[in-house]
Chains A and B, each alone.
Chain A
C-alpha cells in the first residue's frame, strides 16, 4: 500500500511517499481502508520533532474509511462497516490497523469527509463547550481564532447553546466566516486590541469564558477580559506555549479559573467517545453544525498540505485522499 513515512524529523519535505505492506490487524484491531485522512497541527508537531514518537513513523491522527478485516477479539465491528477515528498514528496511508476501541461508527447521513473532518476539531469543540466550561444560554464566550479549524466549530456550538459569542480573527475575510458561523461580534485583532474591545463589548463586565487555542500571545490579556470567577480554557498554542504562570494572578484578577486541556482526557472512556461523536454526527446530519473543508490533497501531496496548514492561509479542514 501507499503511505507517507517520516524517517527523520524536519520540514514538510521529510514526508516521503513509500510502498509498504498492508498491516495485519492484531486480535483487538480492525483493518480499515482509509478513504479520507485529516491533517492537523499535531501532525506537524510530530513531523518536526516538537512532539516525539519513535522513528520512522507514518503520520496522521484521524480519518474515516471502511473495515476490511477484523481481529479475532473484535466484537462491535464487521467487514464493510464505515468507521472514523482520531488519536491514533498512521493515518496518512491507504490502510490502518486500529484498535477497536478507537473506532466509532459513521452514520449513513454523514460523508467520510465530514466524519474525518469532525473528529479532532469537532470533538475538541464539543468538549470545550460541554465540559471544559459548560456553556449556558445567556453567557458570553470569547473564542480566539474564531474562523480556525476548532474555533469556527466552537462558535457554532456556542451560538446553538444560546450564548453570546465574541470571536477574534486576523482578517476581514475570516471575520466574515466567524460571523457566518454565528459570532455576535468579531474583533479583528490585527487592527484592534482585543482586550479593550472585549471590555467595551461587554460594558466593562468581561466574559464568562475564554476559549483559547493561541497560547502565548493572548494569555496576559485573557486574564483581563474575564468576569469575576471567569474561566480560561487553553486548548492549544498556535503562537507558542504560555510562559510560567504565577497563580496569585488568578486571585488578583478576580478568583479566576484556568485549565490547560487536551482531547484525550475528554474521550478517555469508550462511552464518552461514543457519546461525543454521536452528538456531533447528529448535529452535522441535521445541518446544525457545518464543517468547512478547505482543500483536499492526494496522499502524495501531504507535504504541500503541511505547508499550507503552517502558512495559516486556508480556513477550514485540510484532508488527504489516499
Chain B
C-alpha cells in the first residue's frame, strides 16, 4: 500500500511516499481502508520532530474509511462498516490498523470525507463548548481565531446553543466567514484592540468565557475581558506558549478560572468518545454544523498540503483523499 513515511524529521520534504505492506490487525484492532485523512498542525509538529515519535513512522492522526479486516477480539465493528477515528498515528496511508475502542461508526448522512474532517476539530469544538465550559443560552463567549479550523466550528456550536459570540479574526475575508458561521460581532484584531473592543461590545461587563488557541499574544488581554469568575479555556498556542504567570493575577482580575485542556482528556473513555463523536455527527447530519472542506490533495501531494497549512493561506479543513 502507499503511505507517507517520515524517516528523518524535517521540512515538508521529509515526507516520503513509500510502499509498505498492508498492516495485519492485532487481536483488538480493525484494519480500515481509508477514504480520507485529515491534515492537522500536530502532523506538522511530529514531522518537524517538535513532538517526538519513534522513527520511522507513518504520519496522520485522523481518518475515515471502511473496515476490511478485524482482529480476533473485535466485537463492535465488522468488515464493511464505515468508521472514523482520531488520536492514532498512521492515517496518511491507504490502510491503517486502529484499536477497536478508538473507532466510531459513521452514520448515514455523513460522508467519509466529512467524518475525517470532523474528528479532531469537531470534537475539540464540542468539548470546549459543551464540557470545558458548558455554554448556556444568553452567555457571551469570545472565540479567538474565529475563522480557523476549530474556531469556525466553535462559533457555530456556541451560536446554536444560543450564546452571543464575539470572534476575533485577522482579515475582512475571515470576518465574513466568522459572521456566516454565526458570530454576532467580529473584531479584526489587526485593526482594533480586541480588549477595548470586547469591553465596548459588552458594555464593560466582559465575557463569560474566552476560548483561546492563540496563547502567548492573547493571554493577558484575555484575562482582562472576563467577567468576575469567568473562565479562560486555553486550548492551543499558535502564537507561542504562554509563559509562566503569577496566579494572584487571577484573583486581582476577578477570581478567574483557567484551564488548559486537550482533546485526549475529553475522549479518554470509550463512552465519552462515542457520545462526543455521535453528537458531532448528529449536528452534521442535521445540517446544523457545516464543515468547510476546501482543500483536498491526493496522498502523493501531502508535502503541498503541509506547505499550504503552514503558510496559513487556507481556511477550513485540509484533507488527503485516498
Q: Give the B-binding residues of A (Cβ under 8 A).
A: 131-132, 228-229, 234, 241-251, 254-262, 265-266, 268
Contacts and interface: CB of A to CB of B under 8 A. Distances in A.
A257 B258 contact: yes
Interface of B: 131-132, 219, 228-229, 231, 234, 241-251, 254-262, 265-266, 268
A255 B262 contact: yes
B210 to A, nearest CB: 13
Nearest to A259: B257
Contacts of B266: 229, 255
Given A254-B265, A255-B266, A260-B250, A246 B257 contact: no
Contacts, number: 88
Contacts of B258: 247, 250, 257-259
Contacts of A257: 231, 257-259
A90 B69 CA distance: 77
The 3 closest A-B pairs by CB, nearest first: A244-B244, A255-B265, A265-B255
A244 B245 CA distance: 5
Given A245-B245, A265-B228, A259 B265 contact: no
Contacts of A268: 228
Contact of A259 (B132, B243, B256, B261): B256
Nearest to A234: B247
Nearest to A268: B228
Contacts of B243: 246
24 contacts: A131-B229, A132-B255, A228-B268, A229-B131, A234-B247, A242-B247, A244-B246, A245-B244, A246-B243, A247-B242, A247-B244, A247-B260, A250-B258, A250-B259, A251-B260, A251-B261, A255-B259, A255-B262, A258-B258, A259-B250, A260-B250, A261-B250, A261-B255, A266-B229
Nearest to B265: A255
Contacts of B241: 247-248
Q: Which of B219, B231, B256, B259 has the most CB atoms of chain A within a 10 A radius of its CB?
A: B259
Q: Which of A132, A255, A266 has the most CB atoms of chain B within a 10 A radius of its CB?
A: A255
Contacts of B229: 131, 261, 265-266
B247 A260 contact: yes
A260 B228 contact: no
A258 B261 CA distance: 12
Contacts of B251: 260-262
A252 B219 CA distance: 19
A68 B241 CA distance: 58
Given A131-B229, A259-B256, A259-B258, A246 B265 contact: no
Nearest to A244: B244
Contact of A251 (B228, B249, B262): B262
Contacts of A241: 246-248
